[in-house]
Amino acid sequence: MSERTPSAAIVVREHEGHAYFDAKFRFRARQVKRRIGPAWLEADGTGGWKARKGRVPEGSFDLRAAHVAAAQLVAAYVADEGSRESAARERRARGATFREVADGYMRWLADVKGAKPSTIADYRYLLVEPGLPHKRGTGVSAGHIMRALGDLPAARVTVKNVERMLATVSASGVSARSVNKHRALVAAIYNYGIKESAFGLPSNPATAADKRREPHRGALIYYTPEEVEALARAFEDGRHRSATTELTVDELEAEILRQEDRRDAEMVRVSAYAGLRQGELLALRWRDVDFQGHALTIGRAMSAGIESTTKSGRVRRVPLPDQAAAALDRVSRRDDFTGPNELVFCNRFGRPLNGSALRRRYRRAQAAAELEPLRWHDLRHTYGSLLAAAGVDLVTIQAVMGHSALATTGRYLHARPATDQAAVFTRAFESRTPVEALDG
């Protein structure tokens, strides 16, 4: 039995001294209002309206035309509702695709969880559609996840589907850690999709898929203070630049480049001697530097070029040793961009530096200094390792580095000289009489 189309009541509304016809009707226990258009009416002097004389102009409605238009509006609304319900029934029949669930997850991650821009960018890279050209170079994206799962109904994806996708990722030659990142992202998408408020999926097939065995992390490799200074000098001397650079720029541009080289050198020093993550370094402002109190306040970080919170989401106060303070003091002597709200490390226009470009310059300076090719982040590891080697306790190192777990800080114990521990162990095993033992 077909559903009865409702009839509409015609209502006159006033807006800014003009009369308008509205259609008002009920459909499936819901009241609906739709604007018809300008009413060919005039005030009757008693607070009501009466028909105006003359021919109804185009775009306006008399009462008869308003009823015809209202019937058309009702019919269109009922038809649209039917189309929406049909689409919903079709969707329920086939189920939301994995792509739809992944899109919902990414919106939820950004809008509800407030994930950092770098995290969003990283996940979007893994969820890219296959065949899209890379931003740089001539290659195209593999899009392993979307190629394997994107068009499948999310509720029907099996453990075998996920395993096959992971096998394809592994066969591309990436590390076991990268394969596990793909698995973890698919699992996170399903954890979201299982929520009743999201898609109400029945299960998470990724959790039963096998993880790849990742090699144990070796001891952290870090620079000595002498190597940190060698790297900084490579920047200061401009040895990371092409030999033809000075030949192709005028003296003014050459001086600007030299200032940038000195800035990068001081960034190396502050990173190694204050333990800041690169994003924290790029977001550092002069108001965060307390020369008198020998401390830095770290409460922000650059993430994919956007200023955000620190990795832990907490603000921490970091002791400022003389080596880092001297580097910051030299930076503060520049001619501009030294106000409290200005960035400590910025480009020639006072704007944030590009982290990727900084890492490329770092690689070239590293090669020029003939140093082991450690990552920029290893300057932070240098900081933690040198503190541990000097006997600073792990709890203090954890606090100044902003680690959420002490186990993370424990990686720096490798730098502590074994001779100190060996001496303690030796004393523990020395033969003592019972009385001596009690006295001790």
Average the pLDDT over each of 73-82, 152-161, 288-297 and give the range with the smallest value: 73-82
* 409 and 270 assigned to the same domain: yes
Task: Tell me whether residue 193 is in a domain.
Answer: yes
The whole-angstrom separation of Cα 268 and Cα 85 is: 61
What ranges in 208-315 are assigned the alpha helix state H? 225-236, 251-274, 278-283
Task: Tell me whether residue 59 is in a domain.
Answer: yes
Q: Is the predicted pLDDT of residue 390 greater than 80, yes or no?
A: yes
13-30, pLDDT tens digit by residue? 988 778 999 999 998 888
pLDDT band at 151 (very low <50, low <70, confident <90, very high): very high
Q: Which pLDDT score, from 0 to 100, does residue 91 have?
A: 61
The rounded mean pLDDT for the chain is: 90
* 241 and 351 assigned to the same domain: yes
Q: Which pLDDT score, from 0 to 100, does residue 188 have?
A: 97
308-361, pLDDT tens digit by residue? 888 888 899 999 999 999 999 999 999 999 999 999 999 999 999 999 999 999
| Residue 177 three-state SS | helix
237-250, pLDDT tens digit by residue? 999 998 666 667 78
CA 418 to chain CA centroid, nearest Å = 40
The domain boundary residue, chosen from 182, 208, 234:
208
65-104, pLDDT tens digit by residue? 999 999 999 999 988 888 877 766 666 556 899 999 999 9
Task: Tell me whether residue 173 is in a domain.
Answer: yes
* 77 and 201 assigned to the same domain: no
* 105 and 88 assigned to the same domain: no
Residue 118, domain CATH: 1.10.150.130
Average the pLDDT over each of 242-246, 269-273, 387-391 and give the range with the smallest value: 242-246
* 344 and 302 assigned to the same domain: yes
Structure tokens at 55: 């021919």
The domain boundary residue, chosen from 208, 236, 266:
208
Q: Which pLDDT score, from 0 to 100, does residue 226 have?
A: 97
Domain count along the chain: 3
The whole-angstrom separation of Cα 190 and Cα 153 is: 12
* 108 and 64 assigned to the same domain: no
* 89 and 102 assigned to the same domain: no
| Residue 381 three-state SS | helix
Tell which residue, 200, 93, 193, 92, has the closest CA to residue 149.
Answer: 193
* DSSP class of 430: S
Q: Is the predicted pLDDT of residue 404 greater than 60, yes or no?
A: yes
Task: Tell me whether residue 381 is in a domain.
Answer: yes
Please enumerate in sequence order all residues whose Cβ is within 8 A of that of 208, keeping only pairs 6 or more positions apart, or say none.
159
Backbone dihedral angles phi then psi of residue 373, each to the nearest 5 degrees: -75, 70
Q: What percent of the chain has pLDDT over 90?
A: 67
Q: Is the predicted pLDDT of residue 272 greater than 60, yes or no?
A: yes
Q: Which pLDDT score, from 0 to 100, does residue 440 have?
A: 53
pLDDT band at 63 (very low <50, low <70, confident <90, very high): very high
* 108 and 231 assigned to the same domain: no
* 140 and 24 assigned to the same domain: no
* 267 and 376 assigned to the same domain: yes
Residue 412, domain CATH: 1.10.443.10
* 76 and 108 assigned to the same domain: no
328: containing domain: 225-420
Tell me the whole-structure pTM to 2 decimals.
Answer: 0.66
Structure tokens at 283: 């977001």
* 243 and 181 assigned to the same domain: no
Task: Tell me whether residue 134 is in a domain.
Answer: yes
DSSP 43-109: E-SSSSEEEPSSPPPTT-B-HHHHHHHHHHHHHHHHHHHHHHHHHHHHHHHH--BHHHHHHHHHHHH
